[in-house]
Amino acid sequence: MMPANEGSIILKEMPERVGDGCQRTSFRAYFVVPGADDAEQRWVRYRVTRRPEVAWSPTIPCQFASYSGIMPPLEPVDGIKKLSELDAFRRGDRPFRCASEISETYCDDPERVRKNLASLSAWMILETSNGATLWLGMPGSVITWVNLPRDPNRQASVAQKRPAPF
Residue 123 and residue 68 in contact, taking contact as beta carbons nearer than 8 Å: yes
Mean pLDDT of the chain: 91
Alpha-carbon dihedral sign for residues 74, 80, 85, 87: positive
Q: What is the pLDDT of residues 39-86, one digit of tens each?
A: 566 778 788 999 999 999 999 999 999 999 999 899 999 999 999 999
Indicate the pTM of the whole model. Answer: 0.87
Q: What is the pLDDT of residues 74-95, one digit of tens each?
A: 999 999 999 999 999 999 989 9
